[in-house]
């Protein structure tokens, strides 16, 4: 085992003896371990989307993503402002997930542009020995939060399609510039923090992730155990997870020496569209599996591409010629539905709402979601959108005008959506 693997193993094995019971679930150890490949999308979740086992595991990942919000320091007077409040060893415990069964190996930072300072965006973790036995494999997890800072909101409004140019020279030689993704998400993924984060975020979000995930896969691939990669994120974080899945599969980071592929699965909570039809086709070709968890009333899942998308350009209709220039969802949808009163519309995109709907059989779920939203200041992500859109200006750009561009969605090819 390489030195890197030995270091990680040293952290994992003592924890395996001491961990408290994992997050409360109704599924059994045998059920998850026996069907883990199906749960990761080996057959595109055929016949199990409504199953309790899948929803329990998806909710578990949702809680691991939710920790990114709970640990993000928004106090402008804090030394850790816009970084994680806690060190890696205690972050999950501080967020109420002491028994989650994962060991964080690295924090990840992202800059919304090359001129911006890096902000803490999430973490990379590995399942400990006890959890690995329960779920049937060693799981390498990357967890991303959604949009919070003003710079990230600005990046999200850059909704023109641009060539992805990810996944290595071989991928680009085959696809040229036909594979396109949303420019704002690509900017957050690839921009390097020129000032470098004082908490260790050297290089772009992409560079940090490829180094760490590559290191972990190289470490564990020699153990003889099954290994999976799960990329989980909410909102903008879901888009970053999709870009990472495409990128690492294109680079072959998940391919073992004997040619066997380690499964790469994206679990997207309230995720927007990320790329065009060529991007989707290439993800499918590379074997990247994506489970899109959506709230039927969440408008973010219909952006970008409100009018021109995979549905409106299908078949032989008049919009068919626009197909290759339009945004297209990737993966299989797990749609959740709920009824919201007018005053609750700000909650439709909030991650706590998603977790609550996944655990809909829990009588306390609605109360749980309300408490989580209150902890974040009311309306969660959608509340922040509404607040920001109502402001007059951020820098030189009126938020109202920018929001109208984002919601227009009629002329994508002109860079509006």
Residues classed as catalytic? 235, 298, 349
According to DSSP, the β-strands at 289-295 and 332-336 are parallel
Q: Distance between CA 260 and CA 183 in Å, rounded?
A: 33
| Residues near 199 by beta carbon (within 8 Å), at least 6 away in sequence | 80, 83, 84, 107, 109, 120
Kindly write down the DSSP assignment for every residue of 101-134, as one continuous string: -EEEEEEEEE-SSTTSPPEEEEEEEEE-HHHHHH
Stated as kind and residue range, the H or E segment containing 243 is helix 236-251
Stated as kind and residue range, the H or E segment containing 144 is strand 138-144
Q: Which two tokens stand for residue 64?
A: 């691991």
Q: How many other C-beta atoms lie within 10 A of the C-beta of residue 392?
A: 7
Q: Distance between CA 106 and CA 89 in Å, rounded?
A: 10
Please, which residues bridge with residue 140 across strands?
Answer: 126, 229
Residue ranges in 114-235 assigned as alpha helix (H): 129-135, 150-156, 169-175, 183-190, 205-220
In angstroms, the Cα distances linking 35 to 40, 61, 88, 93, 128 are 9, 17, 30, 28, 19
Please, which residues bridge with residue 144 across strands?
Answer: 122, 233
Q: Distance between CA 220 and CA 9 in Å, rounded?
A: 9
Looking at 236-357, which runs of residues are DSSP E strands? 264-269, 275-276, 289-295, 327-328, 332-336
Q: Quick check: 329 and 280 in contact, CB under 8 A?
A: yes
If we measure between CA atoms, which residue out of 353, 362, 372 comes closest to residue 52? 362
């Amino acid at each position: 085992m390489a030195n890197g693997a030995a270091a990680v193993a040293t952290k994992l094995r003592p924890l395996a003896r001491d961990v408290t019971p994992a997050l409360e679930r109704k599924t059994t150890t045998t059920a998850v371990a026996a069907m883990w490949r199906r749960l990761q999308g080996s057959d595109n979740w055929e016949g199990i989307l409504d199953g309790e086992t899948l929803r329990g595991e998806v909710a578990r990942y949702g809680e691991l993503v939710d920790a990114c919000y709970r640990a993000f320091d928004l106090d402008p007077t804090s030394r850790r402002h816009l970084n994680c409040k806690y060190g890696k060893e205690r972050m999950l415990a501080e967020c109420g997930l002491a028994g989650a069964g994962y060991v964080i190996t690295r924090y990840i930072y992202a800059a919304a542009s090359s001129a911006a300072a890096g902000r803490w965006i999430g973490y990379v973790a590995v399942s400990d020995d006890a959890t690995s036995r329960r779920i049937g494999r060693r799981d390498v997890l990357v967890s991303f939060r959604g949009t919070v800072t003003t710079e990230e909101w600005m990046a999200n409004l850059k909704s023109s399609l641009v060539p992805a140019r990810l996944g290595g020279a071989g991928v680009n030689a085959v696809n040229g510039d036909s594979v396109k993704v949303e420019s704002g998400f690509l900017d957050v993924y690839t921009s390097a923090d020129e000032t470098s984060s004082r908490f260790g975020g050297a290089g772009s979000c992409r560079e940090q992730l490829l180094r760490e995930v590559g290191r972990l896969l190289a470490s564990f691939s020699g153990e003889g155990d099954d290994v999976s990669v799960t990329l989980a994120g909410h909102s903008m974080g879901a888009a970053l997870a999709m870009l990472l899945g495409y990128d690492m599969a294109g680079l072959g980071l998940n391919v073992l020496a004997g040619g066997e592929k380690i499964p790469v699965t994206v679990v997207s909570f309230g995720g927007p569209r990320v790329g065009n039809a060529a991007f989707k086709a290439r993800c499918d070709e590379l074997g990247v599996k994506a489970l899109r968890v959506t709230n039927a009333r969440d408008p973010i899942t219909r952006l970008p591409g409100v009018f021109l998308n995979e549905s409106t350009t299908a078949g032989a209709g008049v919009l068919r010629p626009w197909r290759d220039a339009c945004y297209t969802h990737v993966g299989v949808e797990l749609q959740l539905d709920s009824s919201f009163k007018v005053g609750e519309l700000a909650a439709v995109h909030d991650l706590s709402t998603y977790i609550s709907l996944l655990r809909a059989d829990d009588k306390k779920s609605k109360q749980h979601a309300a408490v989580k939203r209150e902890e974040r200041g009311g309306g969660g992500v959608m509340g922040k959108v509404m607040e920001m859109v109502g402001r007059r200006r951020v820098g030189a750009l009126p938020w109202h005008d920018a929001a109208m561009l984002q919601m227009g969605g009629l002329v994508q090819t002109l860079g509006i959506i």
